[in-house]
Amino acid sequence: MRAVKAEDTQPELIVRRLVHSLGFRYRLHRKDLPGKPDLVFPRRRKIIFVHGCFWHGHDCPRGARLPVNNRSYWVEKIGRNRSRDATSTAVLNAAGWEVLVIWECMIRDHDALGTSIRAFLES
């Protein structure tokens, strides 16, 4: 697990390039906000998290797949990740931030992703 990056992952880089091409500017990984969001739009009070389906327990086929070895460890770990994500989102919403979660599986369709990001940031 040491080789797994927390920042600048491939899905995150794809989303960052897409957001930049749409004309929006952002801040990265603000440590003073819960969950250390991937993209922060301070003036708009909006945040985008880019989650890996496996690591954050998405309900897509990739996120539902668990390793065969040490299964109990992974179930517990992914459960903690989901719990932490829910807490971070709730704290951010209570502080007046709007949160959008982009899952790794959503990145395949660039047009739909661009439309949903633009709608989120312009609302």
Q: Are 23 and 16 in contact (CB under 8 A)?
A: no
Q: What is the pTM of this model?
A: 0.90
What are the residue ranges in the chain where pLDDT is below 50? none
What are the residues facing 16 on neighbouring strands?
Answer: none
Residue 104: per-residue pLDDT: 93
Ordered by start, the domain boundaries in the chain are: 1-11+48-123
Architecture per CATH, domain 1-11+48-123, reads as 3-Layer(aba) Sandwich (3.40)
Residue 5: per-residue pLDDT: 67
Residue 65: per-residue pLDDT: 86
